[in-house]
Structure 1
Amino acid sequence: MATSRYRNFLRLLEQWPVDKSREKRDLGAFVRRRVVEGFSHGEATQINAAECDKVYESLHRINTDFHLRTWRRSKETNASGATAEALRTTLSDAGLKELSGQYVEGPFSRLKEQISKRET
C-alpha cells in the first residue's frame, strides 16, 4: 500500500509550486524534503497508513487552495490591507533583507523601555 501513497505524494509534488524568491523558507522545498525523509526507501518504505493519508489530504487541500476559496471574501483585501503582490514582494528574501535594516517599533517597545528603566 505504500506504493500508491508514495505515487500520490510524487504527483502532489509535481503540482506544488516552488518559490525561488524564498530560498530556505519555501514550503514546497520543505514538503519535498519531508517526503524524501518519510519515504526513505521509496515504494518499499513501511509507513503508518492513517497518518500518511491524513498528511496527504492536508497538503492536497493547501495545494489546491481549498481554504482560500472557502474563506476568502475578496481578492483585494487581507488582514494587513496590502495587495497579494505587495505581500509576496515583502516576504521574499530580498524584501526581508531590505526590511531587516529598518527598525519597526512594536506595540510593547515603550513598555519594555519603561520596565528596563525601573530595573536600573
Structure 2
Amino acid sequence: MTSTLYRSFLRVLEKWPVEPTKKGRDLGQHIRLCVAEAFRGSDPHESSKCQEIQESLNRIASNKYNDAFYVSGAVSSSGLSQSECQQILSNEFLKLLAEKDKGNIKTLKEKFLKSENKDN
C-alpha cells in the first residue's frame, strides 16, 4: 500500500512545477522534501491521511478548481498581471528590495567595508 501511495505522490509531483526564481522558497520543492521525509519513516496507519493529501495535491496540480471556476481576464487584488507578480516574488527582486530598505548610508558603509577588506 505504501509503495503504491508513494508512486502516486511521485506522479503528482511530476505535474508540480518547480519555480527556478524562488530557490529555497518554492512550494513544489517544499512538498517534495515533505513527501520524502514522510515516507522515510512511514507509518502504515497514516495511509488514509496521506491518501487525502495526495488527492488534494493532485486536484491543485491539475488545476481542477481553476478550470471549474474560470474567471476571464487577469484578476488580482493588486491589479498586476501574472508575469508581474512572478517578477515581484522572485529572489532577485526580494534582494533588490532588501538593498533598498537598508538605506543609502548603510549600503555605502557595507561597500566601503567590503573594499577595505579586499585591500587587506
Q: What TM-score do you get using the length of structure 1 for normalisation? A: 0.74
Higher share in helix: 2
Alignment gaps of 5+ in structure 1? 104-120
CA distance in 2, matches of 1:97, 1:67: 33
The correspondence for 1:56, drawn from 54, 65, 87, is 54
Q: Which residue of the partner structure matches residue 113 of structure 1?
A: none
CA distance in 1, matches of 2:78, 2:67: 19
CA distance in 2, matches of 1:69, 1:87: 21
* Residue pair 2:21, 2:90 contacting (<8 A) in 1 also: yes
The offset of 1:72, in angstroms, is 4.0
CA distance in 1, matches of 2:11, 2:68: 24
The offset of 1:9, in angstroms, is 0.7
The offset of 1:23, in angstroms, is 0.5
Q: Which residue of the partner structure matches residue 46 of structure 1?
A: 43
Deviations 1:75-115 (A, max 9, x none): 32222110000000110101112223445xxxxxxxxxxxx
Deviations 1:33-88 (A, max 9, x none): 011101106xxx43312101111011111111222223341232222110000000
Q: Which residue of the partner structure matches residue 75 of structure 1?
A: 73
Q: Which residue of the partner structure matches residue 96 of structure 2?
A: 98
* Number of aligned residues: 100
Alignment gaps of 5+ in structure 2? 102-120
Identity between Structure 1 and Structure 2 (%): 33
CA distance in 1, matches of 2:22, 2:58: 21
Q: 1:82-93 residue pairs with structure 2 within 5 A?
A: 82-93=80-91
Structural RMSD (CA): 1.7
Structure 1 moving runs of 4+ over 3 Å: none
